[in-house]
Amino acid sequence: MANPAILSVEPQASASAEIEWLLSPAPVPYEAAIKTMEGRVAAIVAGRAPETVWLLEHPPLYTAGTSAAPEELLEPSRLPVFRTGRGGRFTYHGPRQRVAYVMLDLGRRGRDVRAFVHRLEDWLIATVARLGVEGERHEGQIGVFVGEAKIASIGIRVRHWMSFHGVSLNVDPDLAHFSGIVPCGLKAPVTSLAALGIHADMERVDTTLHDSFDEVFGTTAISANSCR
């Protein structure tokens, strides 16, 4: 794993070596996370590491995807802004928002990016359903909504049929920070599990993400390594 100063992996019991789950208990700086993800994908391609799902949080920040329009950054001085190679527009990341970077080989998963995004949405919908929230898709939009409000976002990049970046689920972030951007280019409101009355800690959310991933992708959820 790249950048050992950021990630100190402590192996735990593993049911399978097919996909490795990594967990960072403290917020990870965005640039360090991208460097680590790039290194991990290179290791996967070289056959030195298994496919990976990395669960983490970031300090408060905005990221601008490849389709982000400058006028959608409403408060440029509010938080640090990072240009990134993922698809999509502006989004917010911060504490109490679960980010899952999904590093999977689409070469053996159908080579269909649209279908992959659809399955990521299925994963998030299944996750919030297990937590007591009915999520849904909106025609022509990417992500998961509860009524008109968005609760989860998806932004991926695919290179040589390997996926980078992933999804974010609003557990209990500071929703006020979304007012500094036009989130994902939409004027729809943003919500969270907590705002909907679901008070789930990150451990419960992570366990639910594991279980739902297995359900949707048909893959045994593997190790839950700790990355500090």
CATH of the domain at 158: 3.30.930.10
Q: Which pLDDT score, from 0 to 100, does residue 225 have?
A: 53
146 within domain boundaries: yes
Residue range of the domain that includes 216: 9-227
Whether residue 2 is contained in a domain is answered as no
Q: Is residue 92 part of a domain?
A: yes
Least confident of 21-25, 51-55, 85-89, 183-187: 183-187
List pLDDT tens digits, range 108-160. 889 999 999 999 999 999 999 999 999 999 999 999 999 999 999 999 999 99
**pLDDT at position 219, please?**
63
The reply to whether 1 falls in a domain is no
Is the pLDDT confidence value at 41 over 80?
Answer: yes
- Give the count of domains, the chain: 1
Q: Quick check: pTM over 0.85?
A: yes
Q: Does 4 reside within a domain?
A: no
Domain contains 97: yes
Residues involved in catalysis: 184
Q: Does 9 score more than 50 pLDDT?
A: no
- Exposed e or buried b per residue across 48-77, where buried means at least 16 C-beta atoms within 10 angstroms of its C-beta: ebbbbbbbbbbebbbbbbeebeeebbeeee
Average pLDDT of the residues in 4-28: 63
Is 186 part of any domain?
yes
Residue 160 or residue 225, greater confidence: 160
